[in-house]
């Protein structure tokens, strides 16, 4: 699943190509249309005809990332996107210009611009979500989400959350994946920061000192910034809006590794349903 660095890179690539572009028509793949007929609503979470009606004729004024989402600000309303496991946008003159064959095969929503260009939303596994909103402030995931980690006040919010009674007996790894505690962190970067700080992922919040919690936040923010600089992590399918893979996977210390950088055998356990890589030798503290 694209995490904050990957989504930020998608946004940075797209914003140069879509601002002030007017949507004149929207095409829906037969797979998505069939899913809606069967009440499954793959990808587009609105009624398809209403979704198209709300977008056609609108000009894109801005593009913003919030956590792992991006949203397009239109003349009226917003187009919100969550990428699921394998969602991706490409802006091309023709659909055949999508060079990644796997994504080309799985193009599902085509936004045709007045300029003749196409913004294609592709999704191999179809776990993504697209929806139109009249008012972005009413979107519940944003209302519940922690502040962006790069905001000045976000550290205090993070510390306050970890000290709430309901979180004290929860594992720190699970809490880092909770968007109401930390915004934009996913499985890869949660594993990486806990290895960097030598903290066992099974440690309960109540067993961490305030200094531990501050170090986790600061290191995680630094890791996310570094990953943005490196284009994000491509573990399987992720590509940016140019179709390019990220490079952060070449700098990962623990995620997906059989041995840690010091040569110790790693373990892979499930926390909150996610594969959690850690080193039992390096990450003994504090549990």
Q: Which residues are catalytic?
A: 2-3, 68, 274
Neighbour tally for 199: CB within 10 Å: 26
Helix (H, G, I), strand (E, B) or coil at 137: helix
DSSP H helices, the chain, are 4-18, 30-37, 48-55, 101-105, 140-144, 154-162, 172-176, 187-196, 210-229
Token reading at 177: 């994946």
Neighbour tally for 234: CB within 10 Å: 18
For the chain, how big is the Rg over CA atoms in Å?
20
Peptide bond into 286 cis (omega under 30): yes
The set of residues, in sequence order, having a beta carbon less than 8 Å from that of 85 and lying 6+ positions away, is 1, 124, 125, 127, 128, 237
Pair type for strands 129-133 and 78-82 = antiparallel
Helix (H, G, I), strand (E, B) or coil at 20: coil
CA 86 to chain centroid: 10
Alpha carbons 193 and 173: distance in angstroms, whole number: 10
Query: What 3 state SS string does 229-272 have?
Result: HCCCCCCCCCCCCCCCCCCHHHCCCCCCCCECCCCCECEEEEEC
């Amino acid at each position: 699943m694209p995490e904050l660095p990957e989504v930020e890179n998608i946004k940075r690539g797209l914003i140069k190509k879509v601002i002030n572009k007017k949507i004149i028509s929207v095409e829906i793949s037969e797979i998505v249309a069939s899913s809606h007929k069967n009440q499954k609503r793959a990808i587009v979470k609105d009624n398809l005809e209403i979704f198209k009606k709300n977008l056609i004729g609108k000009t894109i004024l801005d593009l913003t990332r919030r956590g792992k989402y991006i949203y397009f600000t239109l003349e009226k309303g917003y187009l919100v996107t969550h990428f699921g496991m394998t969602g991706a946008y490409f802006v091309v003159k023709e659909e055949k210009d999508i060079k990644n064959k796997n994504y080309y095969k799985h193009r599902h929503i085509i936004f045709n611009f007045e300029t003749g260009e196409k913004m294609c939303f592709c999704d191999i596994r179809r776990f993504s979500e697209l929806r139109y909103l009249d008012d972005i402030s009413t979107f519940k995931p944003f209302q519940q989400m922690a502040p962006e980690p790069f905001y000045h006040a976000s550290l205090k919010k993070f510390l306050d959350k970890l000290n709430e009674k309901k979180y004290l007996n929860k594992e720190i790894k699970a809490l880092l994946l909770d968007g109401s505690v930390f915004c934009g962190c996913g499985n890869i970067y949660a594993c990486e920061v806990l290895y960097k700080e030598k903290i066992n992922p099974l440690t309960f919040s109540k067993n961490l000192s305030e200094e531990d919690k501050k170090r986790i936040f600061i290191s995680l923010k630094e890791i996310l910034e570094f990953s943005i600089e490196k284009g994000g992590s491509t573990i399987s399918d992720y590509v940016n809006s140019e179709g390019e893979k990220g490079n952060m996977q070449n700098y990962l210390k623990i995620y997906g590794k059989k041995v840690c950088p010091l040569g110790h055998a790693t373990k892979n356990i499930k926390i909150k349903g996610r594969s959690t890589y850690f080193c039992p030798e390096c990450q003994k503290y504090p549990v």
